[in-house]
Structure 1
Amino acid sequence: MSLENNNTSKTILVTGAAGFIGFHLSQSLLALGHKVIGIDNLNDYYDVNLKLARLTELGIDQAEASQDLNASSSTTYGDQMIFVKMDLEDRNALPKLFEVHQIDSVCNLAAQAGVRYSLENPEAYADSNLTGFLNILECCRNFKIKKLVYASSSSVYGNSDAVPFEETANVDHPVSLYAATKKANELMAHAYCHLYGFECIGLRFFTVYGPWGRPDMAMFLFTDAIINNQPVKVFNNGNLSRDFTYIDDIVAGILATLLETSENASPYKLYNIGNSQPVQLLEYIEAIETALDKKALKEMMPMQPGDVKQTYANVSLLKKDFNYQPKTEVKEGIAAFVKWYREFYKK
């Protein structure tokens, strides 16, 4: 593994920059001296104020970030960051962004997230995850971008019993539309990589958690419920396990694939990026109880449509190619999240 232009600052487009992972990635890229072009549509799938607070941490003015302007003028400057409010599916505005800024690499994290929400609003997934991703691929082709790293998901493995999940496994049986769109992204990237020759790396994320996390994710939902004396909904009566992966470990893996070149480099690659230590759901709740020093009121619930019973990442390929090594124990990560939650929400 060798560093790409280790001492050279790059201009990197991060889509979904106001999102959980996009915010942390942008923060790390800026700390490394790179310039970030961040875009996000700031939709209301969850609390927009949390997204705006993340942008504030990045040095972006909230009032300006909320304005709807065009790609060449809707820019807000931090020290090394430009933010543009934009929909990926806007096929007129996105190319203008590439025209204005000399972008070296792209990290596409923007997507309509959530497995369960895809049952309620499937059109949002087609717009963002399919049309939006196609527009990104087209811009990478037309503006000669050398490398695209994009977010896939562990959900592509469906309800597979073959654990740990390996990248070579068959993923032709998604159990949610969200998972189907992520599988489609992998196929679309493969086609563009084959046809146009730029490097495409897909990262299958496994249940990311940590400070500034999404309010619809288990870590946030459980902590919020326990603190506010509300019942914690335990699906499938607790018979679930997840490969919970701390945000710092996720960002380390993204940075490696985005900024480095593997000795085993090939134009198209897929990698699992997880903790490789699945935790039972009830154990996870117990760890949150310990961090909060407060017991949860548990409400046992049936399995939810579109959900899966287990996730478990084999990360040996990412370790081999990019020396990926998750370091954060779940108890440590939970404690960090709880500390952030209490400070941010003053509870």
Structure 2
Amino acid sequence: MTNIVAWIAVAVLVGMAAALVTQRVPIRDRWNNLPPSVKKAAKPLMWAIVTSIVLTVLAYYAAGAFFHVDHLSLAPEKVFSFIDAVLAGIVAFALLGAFTFLASVRRPEEEALDDRIAFLYSARREDGHEFNKYLKEQVMLLGACVTNGKFKYEYVEISADGKFLRTIATMSMCIVNTMKHDTYRQTMPLKISIPATAGVIGTLGKVFYVQTRSRDGDGNYGDRVELLPNVCLLTASSNEYRTDIELEIPPAGELTYEYMFEGWEPASRPDFSGANRFIERAELEFVNSTTQIIHVDPTSDESRPSITIDRSVVLNPGESSNVTITALPPSKVVAMAVSVHNSNA
């Protein structure tokens, strides 16, 4: 009976080893993912098993040499008896160690984000629910980036004194969820405001649309979501538009959000381009639809850390120009100042 149990144990252990070898995750990575306490216990266990086998073999041959037993190592029945004795002695420890190893192996990429955060940040904290909630919000911000952000500014009209421009701005950003197994969720505020001191009585500007559209990791697009059913007028008494965009991006998916507005702004006021997340590639487009020359120059603002580009843009009537910036962090923006020059001068 012991012989049968031992061979069954060997088959189970060989099957476990084959399953581990055929997994995509290397054995070394599995070992590295083990908790420190399991690693600390597993090493002595494995050494004990190896040592017991070696000592048993040595004792077997020593006994044979001491008692002058001929052909001790060659007799088949003696060999099987030896295997039976060895396996019967270590099978319990081997199975216990194997099942402990398999049960304790963690695959973080398959666990929920809450569990991973609780596992990583659990030292010396008995109850870290609120802190884990905060960490999840911060990790979510890092879990998505803008692969391509487009900022288009079209200057369509200039006031008689040349101090104000009517600008149409179109913003489009593709946010990619870099997490493989977690849905990216965030409430993103959006604010569009036109200075009430623009010197224009009545309508200062308009918000034409705010919309989103998601795509899952398999390339399937969802429905376009319109967040602004009607055009929103910005006036001197109500010169600000606010809304919250609920981002819900499937694992390895993406979401594109766009909005478009126009307004009268002082020519001296910089245009800020950026986002509250990392932008891999930002494309700024400037279009002059007026009859005068427009200069777009890099500038800075003490209230907002800025990235300075290395060139200015001169737009003759009807011309457009593009500026591309890579690796724009969420802590900085691109600030551009607009000035009007009389084409007849």
**Shorter-chain TM-score range:** under 0.3
Structure with a larger share of its residues in helix? 1
**TM-score by structure 2 length?**
0.23
Q: Which has the higher contact order (CA 8 A, sep 6+)?
A: 1
**TM-score by structure 1 length?**
0.23
